[in-house]
């Protein structure tokens, strides 16, 4: 393999994804998904909502799966999304090799990974399994 690609080469803009603060209810998150994704041309894969705190730090991700699991008991729809999201525990930096992103995703069963600039703790992008897969399989 020639020079290995790094995360920033394949990451996508965070604004491709809907954002919600952690205090939104599951019901509100469902409305957001319906408005942002279902019924618009834009359909991003994997479908997820990013969950942030008051200071725009990423707290977690919310997939359709998480929501459906969350509303199995009906009264849960008014609970905050923070109760059903998958907390963001793993991050990569823009200069990290893609293989690191792949490792983290495979070992932790993740479909996307937040990209954080380490010095400023700034959330700059999202790396998805689809690009990682494409890149790592390009020489096969």
Partner 1 sequence: MITLNRQNYRKLYVQLYDIMKKKIEDREWSFGIRIPNEQELCDDFNVSRTTVRSAILELVRQGYLTRQQGRGTFVSKKIESDKLTMFTTFGELMLDEGIDITTDVLAQTIMMPVDDLADKLNISGEKHIIFMKRLRKVDSKPFLIQETYVPFHKCPPLLEEDIQKNSLFELLEKKYGIHVTAVKNYFTIKNLNEADCMLLNLPDGSPSLVLTQHFFSGEDQIMYMHSIKRPDNFVYFIEFEKIDR
**Where on the chain is the footprint of partner 1 (CB under 8 A)?**
15, 18-21, 24, 28, 31-32, 35-37, 40, 42, 52-56
Kindly state the smallest distance separating residue 24's Cβ from partner 1, in Å.
Answer: 7
Is the Cβ of residue 104 or residue 126 nearer to partner 1 in the bound state? 126
Kindly report the CA angle at 4 between 3 and 5, in degrees rounded to 5?
120
Is the Cβ of residue 79 or residue 99 nearer to partner 1 in the bound state? 79
- For the chain, the farthest-separated pair of C-alpha atoms sits apart, in whole angstroms, at 54
User: Which of 69, 50, 70, 68 has its CA nearest to residue 60?
Assistant: 50
Is the Cβ of residue 53 or residue 95 nearer to partner 1 in the bound state? 53
Is the Cβ of residue 4 or residue 16 nearer to partner 1 in the bound state? 16
Kindly state the smallest distance separating residue 135's Cβ from partner 1, in Å.
Answer: 28
Kindly state the smallest distance separating residue 51's Cβ from partner 1, in Å.
Answer: 10
Q: Which residues contact 66 (CB under 8 A, 6 or more apart)?
A: 84, 85, 86
Is the Cβ of residue 80 or residue 97 nearer to partner 1 in the bound state? 80
Kindly state the smallest distance separating residue 127's Cβ from partner 1, in Å.
Answer: 19
Q: What's the first-to-final CA gap in the chain, in angstroms? A: 10
Kindly state the smallest distance separating residue 40's Cβ from partner 1, in Å.
Answer: 6
Cα–Cα distances in Å, from 81 out to 71, 109, 134?
11, 20, 32
């Amino acid at each position: 393999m020639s020079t290995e690609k790094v995360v920033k080469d394949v990451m996508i803009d965070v604004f491709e994804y809907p954002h919600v603060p952690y205090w939104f209810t599951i019901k509100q998150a469902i409305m957001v998904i319906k408005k942002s994704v279902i019924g618009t041309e834009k359909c991003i894969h994997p479908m997820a909502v990013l969950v942030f705190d008051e200071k725009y730090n990423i707290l977690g991700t919310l997939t359709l799966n998480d929501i459906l699991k969350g509303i199995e008991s009906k009264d849960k729809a008014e609970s905050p999304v923070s109760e059903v999201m998958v907390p963001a525990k793993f991050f990569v930096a823009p200069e990290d090799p893609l293989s690191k992103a792949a490792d983290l995703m495979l070992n932790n069963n993740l479909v996307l990974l937040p990209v954080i600039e380490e010095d400023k703790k700034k959330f700059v992008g999202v790396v998805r399994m689809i690009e990682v897969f494409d890149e790592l399989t390009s020489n096969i």
